[in-house]
Amino acid sequence: MPTLLITGANRGIGLEFTRQYAASGWDIIACCRAPQEAEALRAIGGRVSVEKLDVTDYAAVDALAAKLGSRPIDLLINNAGIYGTRNPALSIGDPGEYLRVLQVNAVAPMKVTLSLLPNLKAAKTAKIATLSSRMGSIGLGAGGSYVYRTSKAAINAAMHNLALDLQSSGITCILLHPGWVKTDMGGQGADITTQQSVTGLKAVIDGASLSDTGKFFNYDGSEFPW
């Protein structure tokens, strides 16, 4: 069976991705910061192995890649993310916190992806799917939320260019908006459940081919402007 490696697998959208790919019989390397506290993740069973990974611990990212050796990874889902402090209007809050959000949402997914590139290249037709947000679209900008918006705009730009660089390797690299989802981040007033979001996202990922590389998709399969 194909192998999925996913970050932030212990709750929210990441947990539901792990459930749905496990139900499809995939081998899953499910990464989270605190495996000992990840009861819901460990309860999935199936072919899920849980790995401890803080995506901003770059030495740990390299150690995980070394541990995987030449094992092929068919699908990498960069899911881990944070919103950061909700700042008042016309404020970025603490500039140090701004950098922390950039580290988690923009720097870490690139570091994880590039460290695992040999494993992705070892798979026949690998895919990289990165959880962005429509809030990272400059074209759809609505003002405010500068910190989160710029972190997602940054990963959009980086992944779009990586997609171009990897096209000749046959690796499909796409960005995804999951909808406004009922999670700790989205809040309970959000539009859709994790099941609805991930059912849509999984169909987008499973249906994506090299002709889609570098594109930014909504969970319903429609495309977003940058």
Ligand X SMILES: NC(=O)c1ccc[n+]([C@@H]2O[C@H](COP(=O)([O-])OP(=O)(O)OC[C@H]3O[C@@H](n4cnc5c(N)ncnc54)[C@H](OP(=O)(O)O)[C@@H]3O)[C@@H](O)[C@H]2O)c1
Instruction: Using CB under 6 A, list all residues that contact ligand X.
Output: 7-8, 10-14, 32-34, 54-56, 79-82, 104, 131, 133, 177-178, 180-181, 183-186, 190
| Least distance (Å) between residue 168 CB and ligand X | 28
| Residue 133 vs 213, nearer CB to ligand X | 133
Token digits of residue 71: 């094992």
- Nearer to ligand X among residue 41 and residue 73 (C-beta): 41
User: What is d(CA 29, CA 13) in angstroms, rounded to the nearest whole number?
Assistant: 16
Cβ-based nearer residue to ligand X, 177 or 202: 177
Which residues share a beta bridge with 78? 130
The CA distance from 187 to 26, in Å, is 29
Contact 158, 166 (CB under 8 A): no
**Min separation Cβ 182 and ligand X, Å:** 7
The active-site residue out of 21, 98, 148, 219 is: 148
Q: How far is the CB of 67 from ligand X (least distance, A)?
A: 17
The token pair at 105 is 């949402």
Edge-first strand order for the sheet with 172-177 is 48-52, 27-32, 3-6, 75-78, 127-131, 172-177, 216-218
Tokens in use for 41?
């993740």
Identify which of residues 5 and 181 has a Cβ nearer to ligand X in the complex. Answer: 181
Number of residues that make up the chain:
226
For the CB of residue 173, give the shortest distance to ligand X in the complex, in Å: 16
Question: Is 148 a known active-site residue?
Answer: yes
Active site residues: 148
